Structure 1
Amino acid sequence: MELYLLNTASGLKPCYDSDFEEKKKLKLGQTYKAKITLARNIEFHRKYFQLINTAWAYQNEATTKHFKENINCFRKTVEVAAGHCDTVYSLSRKEWIDVPKSIAFDKMDDAEFQNLYDRVKDVLFSVFLRHISEYDFMNNLSNF
């Protein structure tokens, strides 16, 4: 079980309804062991995926077919192009290839994630969104 908790003067408080529902499963009077870590900004994480989703929506049919109509392939390709990858040797291809690193919450802090966001945005506008106004595009993200 993993919860997002806010530290208050009266104790730890669940941040979201889903966290509250999970906390309700804990039995009163029982002792639990918890690992406390500073959570990465969940809203910024959502904004990142909105950036990817919006960029994907701007792609033409040929581009989406190139990525097998799979937004996750598109996201990982952009992350590799942004340098967020490890280089490994492919035995089947007999060559070195780049594979995307994890963007999981426990793998990156806020500063690293902000850096990734900025580099991904640069890749999107230099490769996939060259003919789109950044101002217009960013207006589509204005709800974040």
Structure 2
Amino acid sequence: MEILLTKAPGGALIPLDDEQAEKIRKFKPGGVIRANIAQARNAAFHRRWFKLVNWAYDIWSETAEMPTHRGQPIQPNFEKFRKDVTILTGYRHMVVGVNLEIRWEADSISFASMDNETFESLYSKTIDVIIGKVLSDPKLTADEVREHIDYLMTFDG
């Protein structure tokens, strides 16, 4: 069971809300409770990363030359783009498929898998990837790149 707590001014950990308090009431008074405490990541910062990646995806999907396969155009895919950006930031691991093909898979960016410090590093490296892989497209004019860089810098900080 996961219980969300907040630190009170006196240092005590108290339930975040009524739902969390109800979970605690299920424990018997005087019983021993084992807990693994971790500070939750900032959800707003997590949403901001997705907004950043969505913005970059919109630019990339409009400017990148999409390949064709047997005469059929291949459509861009946000999930693949998001995972590729994560891989390019260095947050990745090797996997092997049943056909023995080895490839990179993106590490999970879930709250349970990545602490604040690691996520901040991912965020910063994501900006670097966007500059190097999305905004370096030769189809973009110098003015467009400057405009995109100016907007991108609103995400930094």
Say yes or no: TM over 0.5: yes
In the superposition, the TM-score normalised over structure 2's length comes to 0.67
**For residues 35-114 of structure 1, what are the structure 2 equivalents within 5 Å?**
35-61=36-62, 63=64, 68-92=75-99, 94-114=100-120
- The separation in 1 between residues aligned to 2:13 and 2:117, in whole angstroms, is 27
- The separation in 1 between residues aligned to 2:128 and 2:45, in whole angstroms, is 17
CA gap 1:25/1:13 in 2 versus in 1, 3 angstroms: closer
- Work out which of the two has the higher radius of gyration on C-alpha atoms and give 1 or 2: 2
- The separation in 1 between residues aligned to 2:96 and 2:121, in whole angstroms, is 26
- The separation in 2 between residues aligned to 1:23 and 1:64, in whole angstroms, is 50
Q: Given that residues 92 and 106 in structure 2 are in contact (C-alpha distance below 8 angstroms), is that contact kept between their aligned partners in structure 1?
A: yes
Counterpart residue number, 1:137: 152
Shift of 1:40: 2.0
Higher relative contact order (CA 8 A, sep 6+): 1
* Count of residues paired in the alignment: 135
CA gap 1:60/1:74 in 2 versus in 1, 3 angstroms: closer
Which one-letter code corresponds to 1:123 in the other structure?
Answer: V
RMSD: 3.1
Q: Percent identity?
A: 27
Q: Given that residues 64 and 70 in structure 1 are in contact (C-alpha distance below 8 angstroms), is that contact kept between their aligned partners in structure 2?
A: no
In the superposition, the TM-score normalised over structure 1's length comes to 0.72
